[in-house]
Amino acid sequence: AQSVAQPEDQVNVAEGNPLTVKCTYSVSGNPYLFWYVQYPNRGLQFLLKYITGDNLVKGSYGFEAEFNKSQTSFHLKKPSALVSDSALYFCAVRDKVYGGATNKLIFGTGTLLAVQP
Amino acid sequence: ETGVTQSPTHLIKTRGQQVTLRCSSQSGHNTVSWYQQALGQGPQFIFQYYREEENGRGNFPPRFSGLQFPNYSSELNVNALELDDSALYLCASSPPLGTSGTYEQYFGPGTRLTVT
């Protein structure tokens, strides 16, 4: 079964410093990976995806993610954190159930990013 | 371009009652998925609708049911509400395969359901 793991419940970083939010995956075959962000009392906002191609994926709001097949990781990164980046971040993988749902996402448990001014 | 909208925003129900939540998909999107997000957890897939039919279901009992309409909007119905059904219910729409944004899901703001 497909799954993703986010090993850190919370990540603290000072404004202006680089940030990394970790995600590892377990899938059969090639993974389709996603990052979403959730602000308080809001739905999820799509940040970026990896389907195929370059291992470094660029997304919204200056975020990027690096796909590493050998380490089965898809870490989210940003060169310089902003206080407004403080939110809950979810990594997700598309579940491959042939003949069934084509867009089912399996989410990690989330990582709370806190950026201090 | 109008995003995904959901109604109502908040809802309080009593155990044993029934509830209907509504979702309007983003313009051009033909697939709608529903997720349940309990407090402090990641969203859990309930089911997906495509061409007005359910074409995938997560580990949820039959008292969770849905509909999709010709305009691609959708409803989530929950019968015999239980306390554990208290959660944020998220609707997400997706564009047709092969178009820009394939496999991406765009979420609405959610409906907060409280069961007492």
Q: Per the CB < 8 Å rule, is B106 touching A107?
A: no
CA distance A43 to chain B (A): 4
| B102 vs A76, more confident | A76
pLDDT value at residue A2: 85
Closest CA to A42 of B19, B6, B110: B110
Confidence of residue B103 (pLDDT cuts 50, 70, 90): confident
Residue in chain B lying closest to A96 (CA)? B56
- Residues 6+ away with beta carbon under 8 Å from B12: B113, B114, B115, B116
Q: State the pLDDT at residue A101.
A: 54
Q: How far apart are CA A24 and CA A46, in angstroms?
A: 18
User: For position A103, what pLDDT does the model report?
Assistant: 79
Q: Identify the CA nearest to A113 among candidates A39, A60, A59, A58.
A: A39
Measure CB to CB from residue B31 to each of A43, A49, A103 and give the nearest one. Answer: A103
Which of B55, B74, B99, B111 to mutate to test binding with chain A, by most A CBs within 10 Å of its CB?
A: B55
* Residue pair A79/A62 in contact by the 8 Å Cβ criterion: yes
Q: How many CA atoms lie within 13 A of A102 on its CB side?
A: 15
Q: Is the dihedral of CA B75, B66, A39, B106 positive or negative?
A: negative
Q: What is the mean pLDDT of chain A?
A: 92
pLDDT tens per residue, range B19-78: 999 999 998 888 999 999 999 899 999 999 998 999 889 999 999 999 999 999 999 999
Give per-residue pLDDT as tens, A19-74: 999 999 998 888 999 999 999 877 899 999 999 889 999 999 999 999 999 999 99
State the pLDDT at residue B110: 95
**C-beta atoms of B90 and A101 within 8 A:** no
- Highest-scoring range by mean pLDDT, A21-30, B90-99, B107-116: B107-116
- On the question of pLDDT at B89 being above 80, the answer is yes
Sign of CA dihedral B52, B90, B46, B18: negative
A83 has pLDDT over 70: yes
pLDDT reported for residue B55: 86
- pLDDT on residue A82: 97
Decide: residue B60, CB within 10 A, 0-12 exposed, 13-18 middle, 19+ buried.
Answer: middle
In degrees rounded to 5, what are phi and psi of residue A41? 60, 30
Q: Which two tokens stand for residue A16?
A: 């202006």
Q: Which residues of B touch A (CB under 8 A)?
A: 4, 6, 31, 33, 35, 41-45, 47-48, 50, 55-58, 90, 92, 94, 97, 102-110, 112
| Identity of the residue in B47, B55, B103 whose CB atom sits nearest the CB atom of A94 | B103
Q: Give the separation between CA A57 and CA A21, rounded to whole angstroms.
A: 14
CA distance B87 to chain A (A): 12
CA distances from A24 to A48, A55, A113, B60 (A): 16, 14, 17, 26
